[in-house]
Structure 1
Amino acid sequence: MIRTATKWSVADYHRMIATGLLAGCQVELLAGDVVEMAPELPIHRATYRRGSKYLETLLGERAIVFTAAPITLPSDSEPQPDIAIAAPPESRYDDRHPGPNDVYWLIEVSNSPLTFDREEKAQLYARDGIAEYWVVGAT
């Protein structure tokens, strides 16, 4: 992860998005740092799509399954986990992203060294109150 000299708030990050400053950039906000995301390989996308479809079928109306969508955390973070399982109804997210009180479970699919997902992100999620976080290999 590249650390930036300036720490950004979620509000700052949203302003950068709204003004187009981050257009075309694959980034997420982690602990105030705007971090470039790794390119998505086909096996990565296929793995989380299969997982999300299975979870949607399994959970039905009991949860909302988000794929590659932001969640907002109190540590000035807006990561985009591959799968986020959150409390229904979906309409509660019409004007905001899910937060720690909404999230039941996060899943990251990793097709690269697991260090970042298993250490940096795991610590961030634990600090911000995410109760369940899994890292799975892309297969």
Structure 2
Amino acid sequence: MTLIAAKWSLDDYHKMIEAGLLDDRSVELMDGAIIQMVPEGIAHAFCCRGTAKYLRTILGERAEISEAHPISLPNDSEPEPDIAIIKAPDTLYRDRHPQPDDIFWLIEIANTTLINDLGAKRELYAQAGISEYWVMNLQTSELKIFRNLTANGYRAEISLNSGTISPLAFPEISIEISRLFR
């Protein structure tokens, strides 16, 4: 006998949320599967807050910085990236979550989730058409940047421990790698 897991649509997932079925659970929808999220540790929370604060000072009114809030993707997915840099103003998201066309780039902060962030999440974001994706490895203070999206995923992978990087959406901005990991 072959077991087949049920796939959930975004609409199904939203109905479960509205009905309160997921109230006591920290979950996200990835490719039709409801996935339990890893509890956020102290180092992760500290880095997320600091990175978001730093990006807000650099980007100003050019973008919104969304911390650990859902984004809606076309492949029956509604993950909650640690940081999403999205189009302003925030009123765009009064009646919906940000979608791929709203997203400049995404950041996941990895302490215990590195394998998932470099594997399943990277594939999910590439399939959804997210043009730039960053993974901050808290164990090594290394920033992995994925760019040059093709039909087969991200073609370019850059690893940095120091120096600066300019996001594709804002080439005039220089982000200090060391400030991300402060």
Shift of 1:24: 1.2
Unaligned runs of 5+ in 2: 139-180
Shift of 1:49: 0.6
CA distance in structure 2 between the partners assigned to 1:101 and 1:59 by the alignment: 18
Structure 1 residue 60 corresponds to structure 2 residue 35? no
CA distance in structure 1 between the partners assigned to 2:42 and 2:24 by the alignment: 19
Task: Report the equivalent of 2:50.
Answer: 50
Unaligned runs of 5+ in 1: none
Percent identical across equivalent pairs?
A: 51
- Three-state SS of the structure 2 residue aligned to 1:56 is helix
Q: What is the count of residue pairs matched by the alignment?
A: 136
Structure 1 residue 19 corresponds to structure 2 residue 22? no
Root-mean-square deviation (CA, aligned residues, Å) is 1.1
CA distance in structure 2 between the partners assigned to 1:115 and 1:25 by the alignment: 22
CA distance in structure 1 between the partners assigned to 2:70 and 2:113 by the alignment: 22
Q: TM-score, normalised by structure 2?
A: 0.73
Deviation by residue 1:66-97 (Cα, 9 ceiling, x = unmatched): 00000000000000000000011111100000
Task: Report the equivalent of 1:102.
Answer: 102
- Three-state SS of the structure 1 residue aligned to 2:46 is helix
Cα gap change, 1:65 to 1:125, in 2 (>3 Å) = same
* 2:45 counterpart letter in structure 1: R
CA distance in structure 1 between the partners assigned to 2:18 and 2:45 by the alignment: 26
Between structures 1 and 2, the one with greater strand share = 2
4+ runs of 1 displaced by more than 2 Å?
Answer: none
Between structures 1 and 2, the one with greater helix share = 1
* 1:117 counterpart letter in structure 2: D
CA distance in structure 2 between the partners assigned to 1:113 and 1:95 by the alignment: 30
CA distance in structure 1 between the partners assigned to 2:122 and 2:94 by the alignment: 27
- Three-state SS of the structure 1 residue aligned to 2:119 is helix
Shift of 1:119: 1.0
- Three-state SS of the structure 2 residue aligned to 1:101 is helix
Shift of 1:113: 4.9
CA distance in structure 2 between the partners assigned to 1:91 and 1:16 by the alignment: 25
Please identify, of 129-138 and 102-111, the stretch whose mean Cα deviation from structure 2 is larger: 129-138
CA distance in structure 2 between the partners assigned to 1:27 and 1:19 by the alignment: 15
Greater C-alpha radius of gyration: 2
